[in-house]
Structure 1
Amino acid sequence: MRHYFHRHQPPHKPHTAALAGLGAMIAIGVTGALSFHAGAPLLIAPFGASSVLLFSVPNSPLSQPANVVGGHLVATGVAIALHMVLPGTWWAAAIAVGAAIALMALLRLIHPPAGADPLLVFASDPSWAFLVMPVGMGAVALVAIAALFHRSTGTTYPLKAP
């Protein structure tokens, strides 16, 4: 039973944990401010979870720009397409989540927070424009802010291509 409670993640130093929180606060704050001033939404709830990856584990393959932006676009696109042909029921949302995860895996664009995007789509019934704004533009904004933040704090992000 002990293995269920063992923490496999290495410990964060206090200043690294504080920087992760600060980076996420700045990213969500700047993206929210851009939304407010542009009069167009750029934030969706899964972006909070994306910020956890972008700022706490920036070297994870799941945190890289292609995964963040691509994962959100793939998951949302799959969900909107399925929502057009399936009813807005729990089982249809479940199918959309499964299909989104399968396609992200096949495309090597896995980003766990994007797994929530189909639930958001089925709950809010958006048009295809939702794929661009807030999903695409918001994800790009988060990645850009993360890159600037990490560069200013001396952290490598994104990972260099081999």
Structure 2
Amino acid sequence: MDTHTLKHALLAGTGGFIAILLLAGVSEFGTAALIMAPFGASCVLLFALPEAALSQPRNVIGGHLLTATVGLAFYSLAPNTAVFASLAVGLAISLMVLTKTTHPPAGANPLLFFLAAKPLGAWFLLTPVASGAILLVLLATLYHRATGKFSYPVKR
């Protein structure tokens, strides 16, 4: 393994560690939850592949909000049904493609509503979805500027 690859791997891992630690810390000691499992996968893109189109703020924030909204809508229609959970994921993917907000980790968001131990309401769209996604993008921006390795977000 060359030193360039090792440095990139360590920087990406460190960025993900810091971001999740901050989200978890705010969630634990604050009044609002800012963390959800798909954010771990978002960190892979934000810190390992920050120049990818799928990692850009529009995709991260828009993708998470769009797919969570679809999940909430379908869960509201028919909670705990495999068909509606599957339809929600499929529609969420199609809408991300159509709106140019594709962010693969967000594809898991509709399932959160169907798999949660207790029902998730509309408030979930604000916290953790929107606030967490915005904070992740902000942290990635600051991290990449501090490390100087990548330019994030990419101006297209």
Task: Give me the TM-score of the superposition, normalised by structure 2.
Answer: 0.93
Match of 2:147 in 1: 153
SS at match of 2:111: helix
* Structure 2 residue corresponding to 1:39, chosen from 19, 22, 31: 31
Q: CA deviation at 1:84?
A: 1.0
Matched, 1:76 2:68: yes
Aligned mates of 2:114, 2:65 — CA distance in 1: 15
- 3-state DSSP class of the match of 1:139? helix
- The reply to whether residue 54 of structure 1 matches residue 46 of structure 2 is yes
Give % identity. Answer: 49
1:77-96 to 2 correspondence within 5 Å?
A: 77-96=69-88
Aligned counterparts, 1:89-128, within 5 A: 89-124=81-116, 125-128=119-122
**1:30 and 2:25 matched:** no
Kindly provide the amino acid, as one letter, of the partner of residue 80 in structure 1: L
Q: Hey, what's the Cα distance between the residues in 2 that align with 1:87 and 1:111?
A: 25
Pairwise CA RMSD of aligned residues?
1.0
Distance in 2 (alpha carbons) for counterparts of 1:87 and 1:29: 32
Unaligned residue ranges in structure 1 (runs of 5+): 1-11
Query: Is 1:129 the counterpart of 2:114 in the alignment?
Result: no
Provide the C-alpha distance between the structure 2 equivalents of 1:128 and 1:39, rounded to a whole number of angstroms. 17
Aligned to 2:11: 19
Task: State the distance in 2 between where 1:83 and 1:120 align.
Answer: 10
Helix, strand or coil at the partner of 1:72: helix
Superposition TM-score, scaled by structure 1 size: 0.90
Gaps of 5+ in 2: none
Deviation of the 1:15 alpha carbon: 0.3
Alpha-carbon separation, structure 1, partners of 2:47 and 2:79? 37
Aligned residues: 150
Work out the CA distance in 1 between the residues paired with 2:79 and 2:120.
14
Q: 2: distance between equivalents of 1:57 and 1:64?
A: 10
Superposition deviation, residue 52 in structure 1 = 0.3
